[in-house]
Every structure is written in C-alpha cells, then in structure tokens.
Amino acid sequence: MPRKVTTALRAAHHATPEERAALGRKARRRSPRSGHAEYRPSADRPGPLTILEAQSATRVPELVPIRYGRMTESPFRFYRGAAAIMASDLAGTPRSGLTAQLCGDAHMLNFRLLASPERQLMFDINDFDETLPGPWEWDVKRLAASLVIAARANGFDDAERARIVRRTVRAYREAMIRFAGMRTIDVWYAKIDAARLEALTKDLLAKRGRKDLSRALAKARTRDSLQAFDRLTRTVDGRPVIAADPPLLVPVSDLLPELRRTALERQFRGLIERYGATLPSDRRTLLADYRLADVARKVVGVGSVGTRCWIFLLLGRDNRDPLFLQAKEADTSVLAPYAGASAYRNQGERVVSGQRLMQATSDILLGWERVDGIDGRRRDFYVRQLRDWKGIAEPERMLPRGMGAFGDMCGLTLARAHARSGDRIAIAAYLGRGDSFDRALARFAEAYADQNERDHRALVDAVRAGRLPGVR
C-alpha cells in the first residue's frame, strides 16, 4: 500500500485507545447517528440515465444494450448496476469523518462463498471493482438498501424489512465493538469459514434454510476450473478450445480477422507474462507451469457489462489440466469524484490492493497489468481465477428469517473488512451500544429503495421509448 494511503487511513491509530474512542464520540456531535436516516435527492441531482450513459461511452458499444437490458429486469438488477448513481447520492449524505478501505459496491450479492489458498470454503466480500478509501458509512448504506430492495421483491412487509436491516446493521455495530477490543493481529486473523458459517447460522435459520446452506456449500466446492472446462470448452482437432456462446462468450478467433487476431493473442501472452510479476515468487513458478491455449471475450455481471473482460484457458500437465483466468478491465472507481483519486496509478493495482486489504484471504493468482489495446488505447486490468469454489446467494428463495441471518453474516464480514484499515476503536465508539444507528439505517434504506425504483422506472421507460437500447 502506498505510504500516503497508509497515512490517510491510519493517522490516528497510534493514539491511545481512550483517545481514539474520544475521537469517535466527538464525531457523534459533528454528525449525529440519527442523521443517517435522511435521504433526499438534491435539487441538482444528476439524472440516473446521464450517469449510465457517461459510463457506457467508454464501454464496448455492442455490449451496452445487454447492460441496459439486464438492468431493466427488476429494481434489484438495476441496483446492482447503479453503483455510480448511488455514489453520487451518498456524497451528499451525513458522514462521521472516519474512513476505511471501502468495497465501493457492498450490495448483498457481493458477499459470497470463496475458496482460501488452503482450500477452505470462506464467506467474504467478492467484488472490488470500485474499492477506494472513503467514509465507512457508504458501504453499510449500500448493503442496507440492497436488503430492502431484495425484500420488497419477495413481498416482505414494512416491519419485516425493517427488522432485516436493523439486524444487519446491529451485526456490523456489535462486530466492530468486538474488533475494537481485540489485539490488532487477531483482527487480521479473523475470518468466517464454512464451519463457522454453519455454526453461526444454526440457531438463526429454519430447517429449510439450513438445507439450502448445506446445498450451497456443496455446490460451491464444485465450481472450479474443471467445471468451467467441461461447460465452456469443446475439442477441435484434438485440442480444447473455448466454445462460442455469442454475444456472452465469444472466442477471439470469432472476433477478429486472422492478422489482427494474431497480434491480439501476442498481447495476451505478454499480459500473462507481465502480470505474473505482480504475484509472489512461488506463484510465479506455479503460473509458469501453464501455457495459453485459448482466449475469449466474456460478458460478466450487471454493472460490469460492457467493460472489457477476457477469459484465458491455460493448460498445465496435459489437455485435462485446465486453469481459467479472467482479466477484467479496471477503470477509475465510481467513488473517486467524491472520495478522492486513488493513490495507485494503475487501476488494476487499486482493485487488487483493496481486495487484499479487505478480504480475509485472497485468490493466489490475483494480480494486475496494463495493456496497450489493438485500438491504441492503454487500459488497466486485474487478473484472477475465473472460478474458485464460488457460491452466490439466491435472495429470491429467502424467507424473512433467512434474509435476516444472511444480513447478520454480511454485517459481520463488512465490519471485519473495515476494521483492518479503519480506526475500529473510533468507529465502534461512534456507533455505541445503543441502536440509534441501526434504526437510522432502516429508514435510510427504505428511502433509498424508493429512489432506486424511480431510477429503474426511468431506465425502463427510456428503453421502451427507444431512447436507449436494451436487449435481454
């Protein structure tokens, strides 16, 4: 981490615990916890479509309609793609003045099952495209609003939604208080593995919820490069290649004529070689045991649709020893206009450094690189394994009790991530042992869910009217 980032995040960390707690209590006077309940769109609020179109201007043009199409499907799908819109809105909300490394897009589906380097199944934050230091409240508010939006889609009533958000925020608050009392190194060792996840939710979930969790854990363990190999490849002339599924998955051989394709493939080989320099030495040795076999452009997610994303099929010992890597374009964080520019010149390094800082354990092949594209433009990328025991929640299957339990895990996980970089003692003192902040976030989340529905309707109307292209 660059020196100025470390200084910015930890300026007060060498004060005594009493001084740090006093800093948090002082922040309450400057920004009362009850004030976080407020959300009103400002008079000069940028139109949501203006923000989306500005993002689309830098993306692959033929993929932009897919992004809009996915975002029109539901208010929740819209919310997943609207991190830039919410960043603009959060900039005008109250803040305590205390900062931490932010995920930047901490909605509920960015908390999921992942594999640790030791091949343990973990529950952690997954997506760090927008990571940046900033007000810790922004992550908590994005998480809270996502739960209300998902709960509305399931038909939960007002009281059920409020209970879910209050539980989630209480879990964050109480976890932060526990972390404030822990030794610093123990905060960094803290994690939620599969065994702890099952133990923590045992008394929170009904029988159906426990069965769903067991099924999700088992399914996640099957999602690896071998599964991707079986699903995404076919054999041509005795060698495996990535199978086309346009427009969502397009092999480079189908994208460009042979001369330009050869140049692009040469660039990809160079990318993999140079990206390896950002890995620890032992992992560079691991990467060197693989050779590049094929490349394809892949459409991923909702908010990321249209950014440049490539998957690489690498082969090790033989043609049945695959490794899939994903190289994803990293642009400036949507938080940067409001929280300040990144200290990293390479946006891929920004993503990787934020991920390593916030996750309990990270992908052993996580790294970054800068590439000069065939269009002459220089772009930053981060690289990771395509599938590594990943499992995602299914909010549409959740009952109120199950969503509340899931919120508990998200709140705890987010607090651990923030406690690593932020002043956990000051944040804990700001939050306090009462439920003032919990209740405020429940009201904020409802108000912002209303705003999200209005913005979703604006996009739906624009697509229906033909003003914006949308393809499902």
Would you kindly state where each structural domain of the chain is located, as residue ranges? 3-218+396-464, 225-385
Q: Tens of pLDDT along 325-347?
A: 999 999 999 999 999 999 999 99
Cα 170 from Cα 436, distance rounded (Å): 10
Sign for the CA dihedral angle at 339, 411, 305, 376 comes to: positive
Q: Which residues contact 141 (CB under 8 A, 6 or more apart)?
A: 36, 90, 93, 441, 444, 445, 448
The interaxial angle of helices 424-431 and 158-180, nearest 10 deg, is 140
Cα distance between residue 283 and residue 278, in whole Å: 10
pLDDT in the model for residue 86: 98
Average pLDDT of the segment spanning 83-104: 97
CA dist., res. 231 & res. 1, Å (int)? 38
pLDDT (tens digit per residue) in 455-468:
999 999 999 999 99
The string of pLDDT tens digits covering residues 215-253 is 877 887 887 778 888 999 999 999 999 999 999 999 998
pLDDT for 4 equals 52
Q: How confident is the model at residue 206 (pLDDT cuts 50, 70, 90)?
A: low
Helix axes 136-153, 83-90, angle to 10 degrees: 130
Pairing of strands 121-125, 322-329: unpaired
For 47-84, give the DSSP string: PHHHHHHHHHTTS-GGGHHHHHHHHHS-HHHHHHT-HH
Residue 100's φ and ψ, nearest 5 degrees, are -155, 170
373: left (phi over 0), alpha (psi -120 to 50) or beta: beta
**Inter-residue contact 384 to 366 (CB < 8 Å):** yes
Strands 249-251 and 291-298: antiparallel
Work out the average pLDDT over 253-272.
82
Q: What is the CA radius of gyration of the chain?
A: 22
* DSSP code, position 105: -
Band (pLDDT 50/70/90 cuts) for residue 12 is: low
Model pLDDT, residue 120: 83
| Amino acid found at 274 | R
Burial class (CB in 10 A: 0-12, 13-18, 19+), 137: buried
pLDDT of residue 23: 97
Query: How many whole angstroms from its chain centre is CA 116?
Result: 17
What are the backbone angles phi and psi of residue 139, rounded to the nearest 5°? -65, -40
Q: What is the pLDDT of residues 396-453, one digit of tens each?
A: 999 999 999 999 999 999 999 999 999 999 999 999 999 999 999 999 999 999 999 9
Alpha carbons 346 and 326: distance in angstroms, whole number: 17
pLDDT given for residue 26 in this prediction: 97
Q: What is d(CA 470, CA 72) in angstroms, rounded to the nearest whole number? A: 8
Banded pLDDT at 259 (limits 50, 70, 90): low
Q: What is the pLDDT of residue 8?
A: 45
Q: Tens of pLDDT along 266-316?
A: 888 889 999 999 999 999 999 999 999 999 999 988 989 989 999 999 999
pLDDT confidence tier of residue 105, bands split at 50, 70 and 90: very high
The pLDDT score that the predictor gives to residue 75 is: 98
8-state DSSP, 356: H
